[in-house]
Structure 1
Amino acid sequence: MADAPKIIDHPSPNFGPRRDGLRPEFIVLHYTAMDTAEAALGRLCDPDPEVSAHYLICEKGRIFKLVDEDMRAWHAGAGTWQGKTDLNSRSIGIELDNRGTHPFSEPQMTALEALLPAIMTRWDIPASGVIGHSDMAPGRKFDPGPRFDWRRLALAGLAVWPDGRQAVGDWATAASRLGYDTDIPEALSAFRARFRPWAKGPQDAEDVRIVTRLTS
C-alpha cells in the first residue's frame, strides 16, 4: 500500500452541509477535462460555476484538498447509483487532472492509490463503492473515461473488477444489482466504458459474463 500522501489545503467556497443526515458511502472519480490543474483549481474554487470536489489530483501527483470530507461538495449532479439519489450528499468526489484523451500519469495513479485507502477506512466505504461519474450518470457524464485504469485499482483492493470465470445470466438484472440505472439506454455504454472500454456493437455474452461475475 502506498505511503500516506502529502495533501495541500486549497479551500473552495463551493460546498454545504450533507442533506438529511446522509454520510459518504461512495467515492466518485472524475476527470477535469481542462488543460491544466491550475485551470481546474480556479474553476473548482470559483463561486460562479457552483462546482467543486473534495480533492483534486494533478498530473504530477500533487493532491489538493478543496472541501472537508464531512461537507457536501458539488461534483456529482443528477444521477443515481444502487437506486440512491443525491450522490453529492452520499459521496466523496475526487477530480483527476486529465482531459479524457490520454492515459492517467503514473504519479497521479500512485497518489490516488495513496489517498483512497484512508478515505475508505474513515467512512467504511468498500471497494464496490468506488465508482466513476459515468457510472451514476450514464449518457450525461463520461468521466473518468476509457483510459482510466480500473483494473489497477482493483488489484490494489480499491475498486472491483471481474475475474475470468464463466457465468450466464440477464445483463439488465445483474447491472441493476451492481448499481446502474438500466432504464437509461446509455447504461450499457457506461458499463463498457469501465469494464470493456473498446467493445462495440450490441450487448453480448461477454457483457453478461462480466456483470454476472461482479454481482455473484
Structure 2
Amino acid sequence: MTIIDTPSPNHDERLGPITMIVLHYTGMVDAESAIARLRDPVAKVSAHYLVAEDGTVLRMVDESRRAWHAGASHWRDVDDVNSASVGIEIVNPGHEFGYRPFPDEQIAAVVRLVSAIKDRYGITRGNIVGHSDVAPARKRDPGELFPWHSLARLRLALPRPTKNLMDPGWTQGGFLLALERFGYDVTDPMAAIMAFQRRFRPEMLDGEIDAECRMILLALLLPKPQGDE
C-alpha cells in the first residue's frame, strides 16, 4: 500500500500504549479543505491517516505520536482515547454537507490500512470503533452509511449479531448498564442509544430501546458474537 507523507504539526506525546483504532469521516465540503484543516496549527486537530475517496492514503502524524482526533471521548476503561488510538479520517462530506455512501476504492484502502494497524499492535475487534462510539453526545461519524460489515467479514470489526438471538427483557436502566459495560459513555442516554444503533442497527435510528436492540447488545456481550461475517 502506497502512503503519501503529508505531515501535520498537530501532535504530542502518547501517554500509553496503542490499543484502539478510531474511524472518522472528515465532514467537510471536500478533501482539500479537510487536509488543510488537519494541517492548520490554529485548528489544533489532526489524524494519523486520511483516506481519500479514490483510495489514496495520506500519513499526517506518525503512529508513535498522539494525534488530536478524538477530543473528549471514552471507550471501555479509556478516557484519553487520543493516547490509546490510531485515528483515521475518511473523506466524506458528512451529514452537514451531503452525506453519501463511501466508494469501494476508499473502503478497500481503509480495510488494508486497518488490517495493517490491527496486526501491528494486536488490537482486538472490539476496539476498532467509530468516532460516534467514543463520543456519542458529540459525534455521528463515520455514520450509518459506513459499511462496518465489510470490515467485520475480515475480522477487522465486531459483526452485527444475527444468530441465536435472545431478548433479555432489560428495563431501560438495565440496557444502559449493559451498554456501559460494553464500552459506551451513557451520560447522555439518548445519544448513547443512537450511537449504538448507528453502529449495529443503522437502518433504524430512533433512540428507542426495543427487543432487537436488547438482543444485539446481549449477543455482543457474549464471548463470541455471531453474525454474517
Q: Work out whether residues 14 and 50 of structure 1, in 8 Å CA contact, stay in contact via their aligned partners in 2.
A: yes
| Aligned equivalent of 1:85, options 74, 79, 82 | 79
Matches within 5 A, 1:137-176: 137-164=135-162, 165-169=164-168, 170=170, 171-176=175-180
2:183 and 2:201 map into 1 onto residues whose CA distance is 17
| Aligned equivalent of 1:15, options 11, 15, 30 | 11
| Aligned equivalent of 1:211, options 191, 213, 217 | 217
- 1:28 aligns with 22
| Letter aligned with residue 213 of structure 2 | D
Q: Work out whether residues 162 and 211 of structure 1, in 8 Å CA contact, stay in contact via their aligned partners in 2.
A: no
Does the C-alpha gap of structure 1 residues 48 and 201 become closer, same or farther in structure 2, counting only changes over 3 Å? closer
* Cα RMSD (Å): 1.2
| Letter aligned with residue 165 of structure 2 | Q
Deviation (angstroms), 1:175: 1.6
| Letter aligned with residue 44 of structure 2 | E
Q: Work out whether residues 180 and 187 of structure 1, in 8 Å CA contact, stay in contact via their aligned partners in 2.
A: yes
- 1:110 aligns with 108
Matches within 5 A, 1:41-190: 41-100=35-94, 101-164=99-162, 165-169=164-168, 170=170, 171-185=175-189, 186-190=191-195
| Aligned equivalent of 1:38, options 27, 32, 46 | 32
Q: Is the partner of 1:140 in helix, strand or coil?
A: coil
Q: Work out whether residues 44 and 52 of structure 1, in 8 Å CA contact, stay in contact via their aligned partners in 2.
A: yes
Q: Work out whether residues 162 and 213 of structure 1, in 8 Å CA contact, stay in contact via their aligned partners in 2.
A: no
Deviation (angstroms), 1:183: 2.8
2:180 and 2:166 map into 1 onto residues whose CA distance is 17
| Letter aligned with residue 114 of structure 1 | R
Q: Is the partner of 1:208 in helix, strand or coil?
A: helix
Residue identity over aligned pairs, in percent, reads 45
| Letter aligned with residue 56 of structure 1 | L
2:136 and 2:78 map into 1 onto residues whose CA distance is 14
2:107 and 2:80 map into 1 onto residues whose CA distance is 27
Gaps of 5+ in 1: none
Deviations 1:172-211 (A, max 9, x none): 2332222111232210010011111131352100001111
Gaps of 5+ in 2: 223-229
| Letter aligned with residue 189 of structure 1 | M
Higher mean displacement: 33-42 or 205-214:
33-42
2:68 and 2:87 map into 1 onto residues whose CA distance is 8
Q: Is the partner of 1:194 in helix, strand or coil?
A: helix
| Letter aligned with residue 207 of structure 1 | C
TM-score by length of 2: 0.88
1:47 and 1:176 map into 2 onto residues whose CA distance is 35
TM-score by length of 1: 0.94
1:9 and 1:131 map into 2 onto residues whose CA distance is 24
Q: Work out whether residues 23 and 70 of structure 1, in 8 Å CA contact, stay in contact via their aligned partners in 2.
A: no
| Aligned equivalent of 1:191, options 184, 187, 196 | 196
